[in-house]
Structure 1
Amino acid sequence: MFSEQRFSNDYFTFYCRFGGRVRGHKTNKTGCPFAIKGKPHMTPTGKKYRINVENCICRHNHPLYPVLLTHKLITDDQNSTITNLYKIGISPSQIQKIIRSNFNIELTTLQISALTHSSQVENFGLQSTELIDYVTAEGGTAFPFELNLNESIKRLGVLTFMPQEIENLLTFGDVLFIDGTHANLQNQWEVVPLTVINRNRDILLAGIAYLAVSNQELLTWILHKTFFIGNYSDILQTLISDEDNAFIASVQKFHELINDNQESNVPTITINHIICALHKKRNFLDHLRSAGLNKSQRIEAGKLFDVVAYSTSCTKADAALNTLQNYNSKLTKYIQKEIIPLLSKFSRSHLLGIHANGFNTTSPAESMNAMLKRNLPTTKLTLKQSRVLFNRNHMDHCQALCYKRCTLRRDINLLFPEQILLNKRINDKIQIQYRISHQIHIIENPLDSEYPFFAFHENDPETKYKLNIYHCECNLDVFWGVPCSHLIKLSENFPVHAISPRWFEEEPNNTPIPSQSNDTIRFIKDTDQEEEEITEPDELAYADSVEYLQHLSPKQLYSKLFFESKQLASLASRNTDCAIESLFIIKEQINKILHVQTEQRNNPSLHPDQHETTDAIIDAEARPRGRPKKTKNSQNSRIMTEKCAICLHNHATTSCRWYGKVQRIQEKYANDSHQRHCSVCGAPDHNAGTCPIRQEAQNYYNTR
C-alpha cells in the first residue's frame, strides 16, 4: 500500500541496480534482466494506491551478496548477545569486533544499530517511566506523549518541569527560547531545553523535553502543554527558535489550536515567532559558494547580510537586500524564495512591535545547551541520570548568579530614590543610549500628525527615524524594553515609560519624575564619579567570612582574589596617594608570602615634610637561581641573518665590494623591458645562478 500522490495511472518498472547496458570495462553494470512491472490502482477509499504486478522476471545474471541480510540470519542467542552488549554501554564498533572474534560473523555498525533499535524503543518506555517518577517525587510535573500504533501504545516524548523551572517560566517567560541538542543518552533521543532570561539578562532553565524525533507533531505538543501551565497563556509573547521548517510549521499549528475554541467576541491570541538570524546567516553563507561567488564577493555579501539582519533602519536593510540581488540570477532566486518571505521573522528592522528582550538569535538557548552538558560523563546515560545531572549543572549556575549578585555592586535609580529598580546591565544599556543622545538632532515633521518629529545622528544625517514622545520608529523601546537615544533627546523628562516593567526589580510607585536637567543626569552615572554600593549585609558578610572562604577550592579562591584586585585597581587608580599606598600594601603581602624580608618604606607623597630618598622597595619576588639565560640583541641578530644579495655572505649589501658595479649595470638596463634580466645585476642573457658578478664576488670572499 502506498499513499504517495506521485503514482499515476501509467505503468512503472523496478530494475536491479546492476541492470542496464554495459558501457566500457570500468562499470558495475552486468545487464541483469531482473525487473518487476506493475500498475497502481486507486483503492475504494480513494486515499491510497494498490500496486498490481503484471510482469516479473526474477532472474539475476550475477552473484548475490547475502552480507546485506546477515543481521537477519543470526540466531536468537547471537541477537541477545548483541543486545546485552549494547545495553551495558559498548559501542557498535566494539560489538563488531567481539562478534567477529567469537562467532566469525561479519556485521556492519549499521546492522548492529538496526538490531538494537527495537530494544531501544522498549528501553525508552522503561526509562521514561523512571524519569516521570523522579520528576514527580521532586514535586515537579511531567507530561508523556503517547501514540497508539497497531493497538500498542508507544511513548515518543516526555516534557518535564521542576518546581523552580515552573517559577522561572511564569516569572520571566514572556520570551521563550527553544533549541534542541543531543546529549550522551542511551536512547539517542533529542533534548529540548526551554530557556528564559531574568532581569539581569542571565539564562535560566524553564523545562526540558525528551523527544524520540523532532517533528511537527511533537513540537506542537510541547508548545501546547507549556502554554497551559498556570497562567502562562497570559505571559507568553514571543518564541525564538532556529531556522527549522518543522518548528515553523508547528508554531502555525499551535496558533490554530489555541484559537480554535475562541469565541467570536474574544480577540485572537497572537504569539510572535522569531527565527535565529545567526542560523539564517550561516545557511546564506553556505549557499554563496554554490551560487558562483568568489571569496571577495562572499565576504562582501556576508557584510550586507549583517545589515539586513541587524540594522534598525528599514531603508538600509532594503538597500543591502537589493544589492545582494544584483550579484547573479541564482542568488536572486534564493533570496526571493528563502530570505524575503521570512524578513518579518528575523530581520531587526522588520520586527515591528515585537517584544524580544533585545534578541533575534537563539544564543541564550545555545548557551543553555552548553551549560547543561558541561562535565557530563563519557558513559551513556539514562533519562533519569541525565535529568539529575542537568539539575546539578543548573543549580551550580544559579548559585554562581547568586554569588555574583551578592558581590557585584548594584546601581541606584535616582528617579525613585528609595527603591533599587534597575540592575547593572540594563542601566549600562541606558547609559549608552544617553551618551548617544548628545549626538542626536531632532527636527519637525509637519506632514505626519502621528509622528511629528524626525531624529537622526549627526554622523549619519540621511538615516532618519519618525518618533513622538511615546514611541520611536527604531523600535528599541519595544524590541529591547529600554528608551532609545532619540526618545531621550526628545523628552523633557526622562522617558521612564519606555522601560519595560520586566527589568524593574520592584514595581515603580507614584514618585514624581524630576526634570532631565538635574536628576536625570545624576541617574546616568559618570565614569569619573564614584558609585554608591548597595549590598545585602547578611549575604555579603557570609560571602567574606572565614568559614565560607575555608570551604572554597583554589580555583574559586583565585577567582575571588582576582575580582577583588580588579575592584581595588579601579577605585585606587582615581587618586595617586591611594594608588601608591595600595601598591605598597600589595608588595608587602607578596613578600610576606614569599618569606622575603621587608624594609622600612618611606613614601615622600605620604610624608611631605621629608625629602630623603630611599632605596628601591623590596622586589616582588626573589632573584632566580643559576646562570641567567643567554640573550641576543634582536637588531644584531637580524643583521647577522640577513645575507648580502650579491655574494650571499654575511654582510650588508651596501658594503659589498661589487655594490657600485651592480648599481651601474642596473641603471643601464633599467628601461629595457623587452627581455628578461638577472635578478642580481640586472643584465640580460643570464640568470642569478649563472651571474658572472656573483661568481666573481664569491670567489673573492672565499679566498680571503
Structure 2
Amino acid sequence: MLGCEKHGKYVPYRDPDLVEGTRTQKTECPFRLKGRPMKNGTDRDWRLKVMEGAHNHEPARSLLGHNFVGRLNSEEKEQVEKMSKSWVLPRKMLLTLKENNPLNLTTISQIYGACKRLRKSLRGSLTEMQHLLKKLDGDKYVHFERHELGSEVIRDVFWAHPNAIKLFNTFPYVVIMDCTYKTNKYKIPLLEIVGLTSTDKTYSIAFYYIVNEGTDDYVWALECMKSLLADQAMLPKVIVTDRDLALLSAAKQSLPNTSHLLCLWHINKCVLAKCKLYVGTDDFAELVMGKWGEVVDAATVEEFEVQWMQLFNMCKDKYSNFTSYCSTTWLVHKEKFAKAWTNHVMHFGTTTSNRAEGAHASLKKMLRDCKGDLATSWDASHSLTCNRHTEILASFERSIHRIDHIFMCPFYTNIRGFVSNKCLQLLDAEHIRMKSYGRCDCLLRETHELPCGCELAGYERISYEAIYPFWKRLSWEHVPEPVADTISNHICGMNHGDMQPEVEALTHYFSSLDTGGQSMVRRKLQLLFINCSYFYVNQSYFRK
C-alpha cells in the first residue's frame, strides 16, 4: 500500500491537550495505491491498482523540505558518520553532500537528526556515565571516580590521557588550574589542569567534572593529580590559579611546599572594574590604574611599599573604598602576584592562567554549544588532547633538527640542537638586552633558570651545564623510575601470610605497566588501604 505523505491523522505524542507550538503535515489525504507482484512475472513486474486517485491538497511546488526525498542513503550516512567523528560542523557536512551530489535534497535539520541518531546508536543501552567510563577504558585513560556517600552514584570523575601522564612526569614544574563552565547540559563545571613544555607548548594534564567547588573537592583533585607522578619527590614547583578561596586552601593542604601564584590578568581586570565603580572613567581614574600598575611591577619590596603608599595617599580622601578593596582583597595575597616576590620564583614566565583560558576557548569552540552530555565533552577534550600531543612532538623535532640562522654562530655551539628553540630565543633576547643596557637584574636566572646577562657576558660559548634540565627535555619519554610511597611501603612491608603469591603476582603486573597504568594501580591500592583502615576503625568502635 502506497499513500501520500499527508495521509492519516496527527496523533499527539504525549499530552493530547498540548497543541501550542506543534505542527503537522497530515491532512487525511485519501490518495492510495495498491501494488502486488505478478504471479508469472519477474521480480521487477508488479501490478498497480489505484484505490483512490484524488488528493485533498495542492501539489508540492518543490521537493525541498519534504523529509522522504531528503533521506540520506547508506553512502551519505557513512560520510556523515566520518565527518561527525572529525567534529565537522553540520552546515559544512551539508555543503559536502551537495558538492558530491548536486541533486541532493537533504536539509540541515536532517543532518542534525542523523548526528543525533548516530550518538544514540553509539551509546546503545548504556547510561551516560556508563558510556563515559566505557570510552575512558577504551582509550586506556587513567581515571578515578568518587561516589556519593553510602550509594553507588558517581559524584566526581577525574581522567588523564596516557601520554599526558608522560608529559606531566617530564614537565611537572608549573601547573595551571582553572574551571570552565557551559560545557554540558547538566551545568557541571569542568576543571582543567594544564602544564607547559620546554618548547612553550600547553598540554592538558587532566580533566575533572567537579560538582561542588569546595575545598575537599579540590583536595581530592590535587591528590589524584599527585598520584600521576611516578616520583612523588617531583611535585610541581609552581601552581597558578585565580582567587578561589577553596582552591587556595586546598593547594595549601596538598602542596604546602609549592609556590602559589594568582593570575595577574584576572587581578588587573577586577581592580579595573572596581576603579570604574568607585573612581570613575576620567583622567584621574587612568592615573590611578597607572599607579596600580607601578605597584604590581615594583622590582623590590621597598619600592612596592613606596608605590602603594603613593596610591593610597592619592585616593584616601575621596576614594577610600577603592584603596580598601585593593588592601583587603588583593594585598593580603601580594606575595602571590606582585613582581617584587614573583620575580624570585621559577615560573618560566607563567604568571597568569591564560594558558588554561586558551585551552577552555579551544574546547568550547569545538563543542559549539552547551547542550551536549558528559561523553560529548569528553570526545571534544580527547580530540584536542591528541592534536596537542601531535603538535608537541613536532615542536620537539623542530628544536632538534631546525635551527634558526641567528643561532648558527659559535656562541650557541654547545647547546644548539640540545635545548628547545624557546630557550635559545630567551637567551638571545637577554644577550641583546645586556649589550644594549650594560646592566643585569638577573631576572632570567631567577624566573627561568637560564644564564642571565651578567653570566652570558663571561661566556665565549654558552655552557651546556648552565642550562636547567627543563629546557633540555625534548621528549616525553624522560620518565623517572617510580618510587613507592608511604602507603605502598606499608602494604608491601606487612606480613603477607597466605597472600604472598597474590602480592608477587601484583608486583610483577605492576612492573609490566607503563607510567599511566602504574599510577592508576597505585591510586587503587591507596584507596583500598584507606577503605580497609576505615572499616577496621569502625569495627573496633562497634566492638567497644
Matched with 2:531 is none
Q: Please give the alpha-carbon distance, in whole angstroms, between the structure 2 residues aligned to 1:239 and 1:272.
A: 6
> Counterparts of 1:282-301 in structure 2 under 5 Å?
282-301=269-288
- In structure 2, which of residues 331, 339, 345 is the aligned counterpart of residue 354 of structure 1? 345
Q: Please give the alpha-carbon distance, in whole angstroms, between the structure 2 residues aligned to 1:315 and 1:497.
A: 35
Matched with 1:427 is 424
Q: Which amino acid aligns with 1:368?
A: A
Residue 405 and residue 147 in structure 1: after superposition, are their counterparts in 2 closer, same or farther (change >3 A)? same
* CA apart distance, 1:237: 1.3
* CA apart distance, 1:159: 0.4
Q: Which amino acid aligns with 2:239?
A: L
Higher Rg of the two aligned structures = 1
Matched with 2:226 is 227
Identity %: 15
- 1:315-356 per-position Cα deviation (integer Å, ceiling 9, x unaligned): 544333222212223233223212221111111221254221
Please state if 1:275 is matched with 2:265.
Answer: no
Q: Please give the alpha-carbon distance, in whole angstroms, between the structure 2 residues aligned to 1:420 and 1:304.
A: 44
> Counterparts of 1:116-515 in structure 2 under 5 Å?
126-148=127-149, 151-231=150-230, 233-235=232-234, 236-255=236-255, 270-326=257-313, 327-328=315-316, 329-351=320-342, 353-378=344-369, 380-402=371-393, 409-411=402-404, 417=414, 420-441=417-438, 455=439, 472=442, 474=443, 476-489=444-457, 494=462, 498-505=466-473
In angstroms, what is the RMSD of aligned CA positions?
3.3
Residue 491 and residue 371 in structure 1: after superposition, are their counterparts in 2 closer, same or farther (change >3 A)? same
Indicate the SS of the match to 2:232. Answer: helix
Gaps of 5+ in 2: 1-12, 23-125, 476-544
* CA apart distance, 1:289: 2.7
Residue 477 and residue 129 in structure 1: after superposition, are their counterparts in 2 closer, same or farther (change >3 A)? farther
* CA apart distance, 1:126: 4.2
**Does the 8 Å contact 2:141/2:162 carry over to 1?**
yes
- 1:300-323 per-position Cα deviation (integer Å, ceiling 9, x unaligned): 222233333345444544333222
Q: Please give the alpha-carbon distance, in whole angstroms, between the structure 2 residues aligned to 1:99 and 1:202.
A: 55
Q: Please give the alpha-carbon distance, in whole angstroms, between the structure 1 residues aligned to 2:299 and 2:431.
A: 18
Residue 333 and residue 81 in structure 1: after superposition, are their counterparts in 2 closer, same or farther (change >3 A)? farther
**Does the 8 Å contact 2:177/2:192 carry over to 1?**
yes
Q: Which amino acid aligns with 1:319?
A: V
* CA apart distance, 1:189: 0.8
Residue 161 and residue 405 in structure 1: after superposition, are their counterparts in 2 closer, same or farther (change >3 A)? closer
* CA apart distance, 1:164: 1.1
Residue 407 and residue 171 in structure 1: after superposition, are their counterparts in 2 closer, same or farther (change >3 A)? closer
Q: Please give the alpha-carbon distance, in whole angstroms, between the structure 1 residues aligned to 2:330 and 2:463.
A: 36
Q: Please give the alpha-carbon distance, in whole angstroms, between the structure 1 residues aligned to 2:328 and 2:393.
A: 47
Q: Please give the alpha-carbon distance, in whole angstroms, between the structure 1 residues aligned to 2:458 and 2:289.
A: 35
Residue 101 and residue 499 in structure 1: after superposition, are their counterparts in 2 closer, same or farther (change >3 A)? same
TM-score by length of 2: 0.58
Q: Please give the alpha-carbon distance, in whole angstroms, between the structure 1 residues aligned to 2:370 and 2:216.
A: 31
Q: Please give the alpha-carbon distance, in whole angstroms, between the structure 2 residues aligned to 1:291 and 1:277.
A: 21
* CA apart distance, 1:277: 0.6
Gaps of 5+ in 1: 1-79, 83-96, 103-124, 256-268, 442-454, 457-464, 466-471, 508-704
Q: Which amino acid aligns with 1:484?
A: C
**Does the 8 Å contact 1:325/1:331 carry over to 2?**
no
**Does the 8 Å contact 2:168/2:229 carry over to 1?**
no
Q: Please give the alpha-carbon distance, in whole angstroms, between the structure 2 residues aligned to 1:352 and 1:418.
A: 26
Q: Which protein has the bigger helix share?
A: 2
Residue 298 and residue 486 in structure 1: after superposition, are their counterparts in 2 closer, same or farther (change >3 A)? farther
**Does the 8 Å contact 1:420/1:505 carry over to 2?**
no
**Does the 8 Å contact 1:357/1:479 carry over to 2?**
yes
* CA apart distance, 1:422: 2.1
Q: Please give the alpha-carbon distance, in whole angstroms, between the structure 1 residues aligned to 2:395 and 2:253.
A: 41
Residue 81 and residue 231 in structure 1: after superposition, are their counterparts in 2 closer, same or farther (change >3 A)? farther
Q: Which amino acid aligns with 2:148?
A: L
Indicate the SS of the match to 1:373. Answer: helix
Q: Which amino acid aligns with 1:147?
A: E
Q: Please give the alpha-carbon distance, in whole angstroms, between the structure 1 residues aligned to 2:452 and 2:260.
A: 23
- 1:352-392 per-position Cα deviation (integer Å, ceiling 9, x unaligned): 54221111101111111122233324472222222122211
Indicate the SS of the match to 1:193. Answer: strand
TM-score by length of 1: 0.45
* CA apart distance, 1:163: 0.7
* CA apart distance, 1:101: 6.2
Indicate the SS of the match to 2:191. Answer: strand
Matched with 1:22 is none
- 1:91-132 per-position Cα deviation (integer Å, ceiling 9, x unaligned): xxxxxx979769xxxxxxxxxxxxxxxxxxxxxx94333322
Aligned residue-pair number = 349
- 1:496-554 per-position Cα deviation (integer Å, ceiling 9, x unaligned): 655321011469xxxxxxxxxxxxxxxxxxxxxxxxxxxxxxxxxxxxxxxxxxxxxxx
Residue 435 and residue 416 in structure 1: after superposition, are their counterparts in 2 closer, same or farther (change >3 A)? closer
Q: Please give the alpha-carbon distance, in whole angstroms, between the structure 2 residues aligned to 1:99 and 1:273.
A: 58
* CA apart distance, 1:419: 6.2
Q: Please give the alpha-carbon distance, in whole angstroms, between the structure 1 residues aligned to 2:395 and 2:142.
A: 30
Residue 162 and residue 174 in structure 1: after superposition, are their counterparts in 2 closer, same or farther (change >3 A)? same
Residue 478 and residue 496 in structure 1: after superposition, are their counterparts in 2 closer, same or farther (change >3 A)? farther
